[in-house]
Amino acid sequence: MASPNPVFIPGPTNIPDRLRHAMNIQTLDHRAPDFVELMAPLLDGLKAVFKTTTGSVITFPASGTGGWEAAITNTLSPGDKVLVARFGMFSHRWIDMCQRHNLDVEIIECEWGSGAPADVYGERLAADKNHEIKAVLVTHNETATGVRSDIGAVREAMNAAGHPAMLYVDCVSSLASMDFRMDDWGVDLAVSGSQKGFMLATGMAIIGVSERALKACDTATCPRCFFDFRDMAGANANGGYPYTPPLQIMFGLRESLNMLLGEGLDQVFARHYRIAEGIRTAIAAWGLKLCANSPELYSDTVSAIYVPEGFDSNVLTKHAFDAYDVSFGVGLGQMAGKAFRIGHLGLMTDVMALSGIATMEMAMKDLDYPIELGAGVAAAQNYYRHPTNFANKQAA
């Protein structure tokens, strides 16, 4: 039997009943004339979430990892040089993918818990006098460490260096939950997926593509077939899909966009900040420390928390699952055994957050962590009940 308890992992996220019902449809003919009535509005709604008027949106039946691969293979050629910072597990995996595609990867090594170093990006680009670097890759929200980087600052550094490289951003765990400004930040490729801020099942890679990135497809020579931008864009322009689309997720996405845009993106972002702040207040009451090095880096979708010396975070998350049937994020990469993660994005409310805080408190107390039972819950309650911290409720 499936657990009735919510999950507190940073994706896939809890799915609202409204969206589960929207995805509960019988098989339809995706080559029928009315398919365009589903597809075209989705692309327009997604552009609003990416905050682009000049770019396009291209989707594939895949997870965010498929979106990464599509971004690389459609716009770059083997041997092309890319510049990327490694400061967590997901930036590391993007690096690994670039290397497997025989790109020349220049890596900026950073401490885990720090963000993308805009100043170092600028220095490396300024030193690249021959403009060998073709693309700059940045992870907006590093899910392994709970760190949000300043993409606008990276773009400013690129502009100050006068460098023509394209800017690629992984916004898988930030889009539709935290502010993202594709046009304002000059992002050429923005990669996301259906299973996080859009609150749906895994199965759709969602990519914002600038006009410049689309033009790069004409000269890029990395092999691609399933993930070809031109095939997808051409089919979409004619109201179709080049192969079988994930129809159930598309119907869910239509309703997800209705929810997000109906609530208002600014209110969506404020709600995520509010819930995250309550959880951060609880973490401080426990006497524990976030992996993110400073407040300006704090993610509003996931908090990664160090456990005290002598404790194993993987034992803690396993105990929470075994004893209370609740999932929390395990530590990844360098954080394995050292930190656990609380996902607080998508379908999440104050009351749901409090249940997660209470469950983690019980699990820690069971394992003799040096915390006071109820301390985190009380701290979060005091934050959530304060009138100035209220954000508008999510659209029903």
Residue 4, in any domain of the structure: no
Question: Does some domain include residue 125?
Answer: yes
User: What is residue 147's predicted lDDT score, i.e. its pLDDT?
Assistant: 98
Peptide bond into 117 cis (omega under 30): no
* Bridge partner residues of 193 (DSSP): 205
For residues 354 and 373, membership in a common domain is answered with yes
- 105 pLDDT band, cuts 50/70/90, is very high
Residues 283 and 362 in one domain: yes
pLDDT tens by residue, 180-198: 999 999 999 999 999 999 9
**CA separation for the pair 72, 59 (Å, rounded):** 15
Total domain count for the chain?
Answer: 2
pLDDT digits (tens, 9 = 90+) for 240-298: 999 999 999 999 999 999 999 999 999 999 999 999 999 999 999 999 999 999 999 99
Burial class (CB in 10 A: 0-12, 13-18, 19+), 396: exposed
In the prediction, which pLDDT does 395 show?
A: 37
Query: Residue 3 has what pLDDT?
Result: 81
Residue 390 confidence (pLDDT) above 70? no
At 190 the pLDDT is 98
58, 163: one domain: yes
pLDDT at 245: 95
C-alpha 222, offset from chain centre:
25
Burial of 267 (0-12, 13-18, 19+ CB in 10 A): middle
Asked if residue 336 lies in contact with residue 348, where contact means CB atoms within 8 angstroms, the answer is: no
Q: In a 3-state reduction of DSSP, which class is residue 294? A: coil
Last residue of a domain, one of 219, 237, 261: 261
At 347-375, the pLDDT tens digits run 999 999 999 999 999 999 999 999 999 99
Backbone angles phi, psi at 231, to 5 degrees: -60, -45
Does residue 270 sit in the same domain as residue 350?
yes
CATH label of the domain that carries residue 123: 3.40.640.10
Q: Is residue 3 situated within a structural domain?
A: no
Query: What pLDDT sits at residue 34?
Result: 87
CA 77 distance to own-chain centroid? 26
Residue 396 has what pLDDT?
35
Beta strands in 19-66 (DSSP E): 56-60
Supply the pLDDT for residue 389.
Answer: 62
Q: Is residue 291 part of a domain?
A: yes
Q: Are 90 and 119 found together in one domain? A: yes
Domain that holds residue 307: 265-389
Q: When comparing pLDDT for 351 and 35, which is higher?
A: 351
Res 388: pLDDT: 67
Whole-structure pTM value:
0.95
Residues 248 and 326 in one domain: no
CATH number, domain of 367, equals: 3.90.1150.10
Residue 8 lies in a domain: no
For residue 135, what are the β-bridge partners? 82, 166
Q: Are residues 228 and 303 in the same domain?
A: no
**Residue-wise pLDDT tens digits, 295-337:** 999 999 999 999 999 999 999 999 999 999 999 999 999 999 9
Is residue 240 located within the same domain as residue 127? Answer: yes
Domain membership flag for residue 6: no
| 253 and 322 assigned to the same domain | no
Residues 274 and 146 placed together within one structural domain of the fold: no
Considering 261, 283, 307, which residue would you say is the last residue of a domain?
A: 261
Determine the pLDDT at residue 33.
87
Sheet containing 339-343: give its strands across: 289-290, 302-306, 339-343
Q: Above 50 in pLDDT, residue 203?
A: yes
Same domain, 257 and 153: yes
Residue 12 domain flag: no
The answer to whether residues 353 and 297 belong to one domain is yes
The domain boundary, picked from 202, 235, 261, lies at 261
**With 50 as the cut, is the pLDDT of residue 392 above it?**
no
The pLDDT value given to residue 86: 97
Is the residue at 338 inside a domain? Answer: yes
Average pLDDT of the chain, as a whole number: 95
